[in-house]
Amino acid sequence: MNATIAELAALVGGRVEGDPSPVPITGAAALAEAGEGHITFFGNARYLPALRACRATAVLVPMDCDEPIAPVKIRVENPSLAFAKVLERLAPPRHLFPKGVHPTAVIGENVTLGEDVTIQPYVVIEPGTKIGAHSFIGAHVYIGHGSTVGENCHIHPNVTIRERTLIGHRVLIHSGSVIGGDGFGFEFVNGRHVKIPQTGIVQLDDDVEIGANTAIDRARFGRTWIGEGTKIDNLVQIAHNVIIGKHSLIISQVGISGSTRLGEYVTLAGQVGVVGHIEIGDQVVVGAKGGVSKNVPAKAIIWGSPIAGPIKEEKEKLAYVNRLPKLFTRVKSLEQRLDDKEKLPPLTL
């Protein structure tokens, strides 16, 4: 859907620098791909070369951007967030599914459905479940006995929500996820692995988002608990009795072992692994592929595999490792000089 530069600037509360009238905006693209009729955004200094070469009609830039460029500038406080609003404005209208219960859905006894819910084909909702107003339940979703789904939730097709799960308001769960499967608990008795019953629940607080094909296990007892506003990416495994605080970010392929507690505003980057029964403090950041094996104090930034440490120290260690080939060549040269009885220069790394 087309728009003028002035309309888009007003939408994002931006200030226009340049002629806003010549070409209508017909689409959006990245800095390197944008051409005439496109709008793009610049929010990171590493993309400065792409900004200088950009052929877009308009660019959303930070308020302090002083780079001279050909496209019209729209100055905003947060270019990335403003670009998200622009994308919504330019995108085709979203498909609206009809409200109500599809005739192929299977609804158990004593199920409570709020106002204007959407229940798509082949959904199964077991007895005693509650679905809040304006929530969307996609095709082939299974919701187990006695579960609660709050208002304005969006459960994409092929999600499994097991019995007694508690889901707050405005929760978004993407396809393929399993919420409330059994925790991985066994005791080794007489040469065999004996299953330990997992009798607890999963609780997802308001505004949580769960990515595709993520598994959040029910607690052995008590609850596995994901705090308000936390966003969990695709392909994440969260074990039984894990507690994740508010507004944390858990990024793809993370694995968190049982009974570990994360504070608020924690970030676990891709493929981080966390052992069980430890605590990670508020505002901790763990870099990609980091292995967390012990308690982490609040506001720490750690990285490294197989065991993560303070990021500055880990980067220094990596730099030393990368210098080993040169060091090896240097040592061989020094050995040769020693054999030749020459005076040795000082060794520096």
Catalytic residue IDs: 240
Angle between helices 324-339 and 311-322 (to 10 degrees): 50
CA distance linking residue 266 with residue 333, whole number of Å:
48
CA distance linking residue 64 with residue 242, whole number of Å:
43
Q: Give Cα 157 distance to the centre of its chain.
A: 20
176 CB neighbour count, 10 Å cutoff: 17
CA distance linking residue 143 with residue 121, whole number of Å:
14
Residue 161: exposure state from Cβ atoms within 10 A (0-12, 13-18, ≥19): buried
* CB contact at 8 A, 272 and 286: yes
CA distance linking residue 137 with residue 211, whole number of Å:
16
